[in-house]
Amino acid sequence: MCPFGLVLLPDMSEAVVASTYGGPEALSVVDVTVPEPGPGQVRIAVRAAGVNPFDYKVYSGAFGTDPARLPLRLGTEASGVVTAVGADATGPAGPVEVGDEVIAYRAAGAYAAELVVPASSVVPKPARLSWEQAGGLMAAGVTAVHTLEAIGLGKGETVLIHGAAGGVGLTAVQLAVARAATVLATASEAKHELLRDLGAIPIAYGPGLADRVRAAAPGGVDAAADLVGTDEAVDVSVELVADRSRIATIAGFERGARAGIKLLGGAPGADPGTQVRAAARLQLTAEAEAGRLRILIADTHPLREAAAAHRQIMSGHITGKIVLIP
């Protein structure tokens, strides 16, 4: 109750939900209540929200179709401005205050105009990144860091990265190059110039891939990362890398399990890398702030066009990140 007997209504915001299981046609924008942040929480006015393959898998039925979970809020990463803080709102970089420009990850329900998240999910936004770049940094970035750590990539080694022109791949290429590794990057030929610019040796995927890799790296391949999930990526990696503990996949789980390589992410039996990914957030913002990490934005969509964004990312031909703008 406020003065004069008026009742204060809760703040409302727009958010994307999946009202049923299925394809992008299940998505809609609805009004949701935005609570005041409680202890250890912050409220954020979202400027950009990253779109990731996991987002559409949530409502595709890949993780079950329990009707009790509907409607499903979507999104895991966002950039924005802190508008309110609860008591003891402290993040990995220290206390969070109103007016701070931040990146939130993991941020459940990030496809929204406003968001309340734990302060532990919030890190400072690098000033040199746009809102769009900041909103698309973390999900792909922490996955890239986890993958390179899992395969034990060291200075001066040779690594084969499959799916190098996607959101995770572009970050993994740059981080591997920063480790002074020789990076063999598979992608369609239209994306080879970009990969060369980032310091990689681009290689076209398709029949004969193993022979093309051998020609590019006559000294052999020390480790491999499958970021695309094809049988080709797993099979060629196993053929070329002697130690299977130095091969990892973030997508080819069934084939990868049969091959005895590392499975990373949220699939059953996979290593979620929780601690590695949490620690990677400040590493990624430091690299971006120093200008050593480029975040390429493939496209942007208004929040109300989330279905179009999902159709675009489901095509599998995106170079960089797609973000939603509230």
Same domain, 69 and 162: no
Q: How many domains does the chain have?
A: 2
Same domain, 18 and 144: no
Same domain, 76 and 116: yes
Same domain, 99 and 190: no
pLDDT tens readout for residues 240-252:
999 999 999 999 9
Range of the domain at 215: 140-274
- For residue 289, is it within any domain? no
Same domain, 175 and 253: yes
One-letter identity of residue 285: T
Provide the whole-model pTM.
Answer: 0.94
- For residue 203, is it within any domain? yes
β-sheet bridge partners, residue 247:
224
Same domain, 130 and 156: no
- For residue 284, is it within any domain? no
Region 258-269 average pLDDT: 94
Same domain, 221 and 319: no
Tokens of 24: 């992008």
Same domain, 146 and 132: no
User: Quick one: 233 exposed, middle or buried, by C-beta within 10 A (0-12, 13-18, 19+)?
Assistant: buried
Same domain, 167 and 100: no
Contact between 78 and 50 under an 8 Å Cβ cutoff? The reply is: yes
pLDDT band at 159 (very low <50, low <70, confident <90, very high): very high
| Residue 14 pLDDT | 97
Same domain, 131 and 146: no
pLDDT band at 4 (very low <50, low <70, confident <90, very high): very low
Region 39-56 average pLDDT: 97
Same domain, 40 and 149: no
- For residue 286, is it within any domain? no
Report the CATH number that the domain containing residue 93 is assigned in CATH. 3.90.180.10
| Residue 10 pLDDT | 60
Of the candidates 128, 107, 89, the one whose C-alpha atom is nearest the C-alpha of residue 46 is 107
Same domain, 150 and 253: yes
pLDDT tens readout for residues 276-326:
999 999 999 999 999 999 999 999 999 999 999 999 999 888 899 999 999
